[in-house]
Structure 1
Amino acid sequence: MKPFSPNYYQDRVCLNVLANSIENAKAIYAAAESYVVVGLLSKNYPDNERAIEDMSLYAKEIDNAISVGLGAGDPNQSQMVAEISAKLQPQHINQVFTGVAASRALLGQADTVINGLISPTGKVGLVKVSTGPLSSKQPDGEVPVETAIAMLKDMGGSSVKFFPMGGLKTKNEFEYVAKACAEQDFYLEPTGGIDLDNYEAILQIALDAGVKKIIPHIYTSIIDAKTGNTRPEDVRKLLAITKKLVG
């Protein structure tokens, strides 16, 4: 498996965008100059076998720069993500908070980046960690951000996936999460409502906080509604913004 950070920009900032086909994935990878992991959603497949077969084809074409996803943070996809990732050994995995430990154990290595989904609560400094298949159906489990990060570290996680952000609607909460990630030397993945208009502001917050690695997820806003493809030209724009800020 190729290490996660093969170049400079990916070492600090790596885009995470979806692909609708292998050709779309190749176009995205080229547009991003490889500073990207391409999201493939487990929810789009009927079973593990079909997911592994198809995702393997993507991995071969883009140097294994794939990100195995849940599908809109669906907690019911947690086990499937863990199981297919064990076979695929991807560069990146999206998980609910409670699915991180199983994913790391099944992978059998520490190189793949695994995020853990925590959600805004409307209260600066507190996040929701009850994002799993059973816990998401219970009263919200709110804990201090610092505790959530420590728990993710305990489980073998690499990063916080802060979702759904609603773009800059949760700016104050996001600023606190970014600061905590920097202080605890943990990666950060802002997700939800990010577009070409607010991407720079969101990335700047994480950079200013001193976060070591940032993996912004930009999905719906750069997808062509007619074709379902992520627009390579928009990926190029995101990369240009990234280069401007990172220097």
Structure 2
Amino acid sequence: MQKKPTFYKDRVCLNVLTNSVANAIDCYQIAEGNVVLGVLSINYDDDQSAIVDMIKYQEAVDNAISVGLGAGDPNQSDRVARISKEIQPQHVNQVFTGIGKNRTLLNQNETLINGLVSPTGKVGYVNIATGPLSSQSIPTEVPIETAIALLKDMGGNSVKYFPMKGLKHKEEYKAVAEACAKSNFILEPTGGIDFNNFREIIEIAINAGVRQIIPHIYSSIIDPRTGETKPEHVHQLYEIVKSVLG
């Protein structure tokens, strides 16, 4: 398969989970390709089984997959980096401290790598201590502008802001969006996003001038019986995106 790691999507690109190739195809088609399908490394026993399975997803959805950690699990950071090296996906989720290693192993600048930072309770500040060791230490709070500069230094492309808990950290989120817009950086709001707050979360980023937003919508659109993301819900989200963008 010819891999296409270049991440090229519309201003708002959905990020949803999938647990089967058939489900991935359904979600990809219903969003007209403007989505990346999250496949979590934590769901596999070893690197090789993850690589073999993720290649099947790549072939089915033109490599529009997002290699995920699993609820931001810092202990998956190295595995995600190793897997990404082999499959060259379009999108990778990383903890803040894992970006440099991941970019080096990819050996190219086309794949989008995000860096996880967390709310602090202080507007304008984020916690960057999200790695395997640093997450067990005292939170390291830095201005969001500094965090973005560090992400760029390490080869990152976007801020993954997690866990947002919906709009619980609304004012902090606004500050993050404004900083991303000022720095021409991508923003990935994550955690607690559902149909009640999705539009507002998107509009806040759009109104701030963020050039690209990749909202992660997970548990709220997953069928609890099957564990699959509901394609009809992806369609509804995509329709909201189109209405926001006009």
Instruction: Name the structure 1 match of 2:37.
Output: 38
Structure 1 residue ranges without an equivalent (≥5): none
How far is 1:4 from its partner?
1.3
Q: Aligned equivalents of 2:11 and 2:98: distance in 1?
A: 25
Q: Is residue 22 of structure 2 the alignment partner of residue 19 of structure 1?
A: no
- What is the identity, as a one-letter code, of the residue corresponding to 1:64? N
Match of 1:154 in 2: 153
Partner of 1:133: 132
Q: Distance in 2 between matches of 1:47 and 1:88?
A: 15
Distance 1:208 1:109 in 2: 32
1:80-229 mapped onto 2 (5 Å cutoff): 80-229=79-228
**TM-score w.r.t. structure 2 length?**
0.98
**Equivalents in 2 of 1:243, 1:105: separation in Å?**
36
Mapped to 2, the partners of 1:90 and 1:11 lie a distance apart of 18
Q: Determine what percentage of the aligned residue pairs are the same residue.
A: 61
- Give 1:11 shift: 2.7
Q: Amino acid of the residue matched to residue 4 of structure 1?
A: F
Q: Does 1:4 align with 2:7?
A: yes
Q: Which runs of 5+ in 2 are unaligned?
A: none
SS at match of 2:224: coil
AA partner of residue 102 (structure 2):
S
Task: Give the deviation of 1:59 after TM superposition.
Answer: 0.5
Which 4+ stretches in 1 moved above 4 angstroms?
none
User: For residues 110-159 of structure 1, what are the alpha-carbon distances to aligned partners after superposition, in whole Å with 9 as ceiling and x for unaligned?
Assistant: 11000000000010011000000000010111100000000000000000
Determine the C-alpha separation between the residues in 1 that align with 2:84 and 2:51.
Answer: 8
Q: Quick one: distance in 2 between partners of 1:32 and 1:11?
A: 11
Aligned length: 243
**Alignment match, 1:53:** 52
Distance in 1 of aligned mates of 2:166 and 2:30: 23
TM-score after normalising by structure 1: 0.97
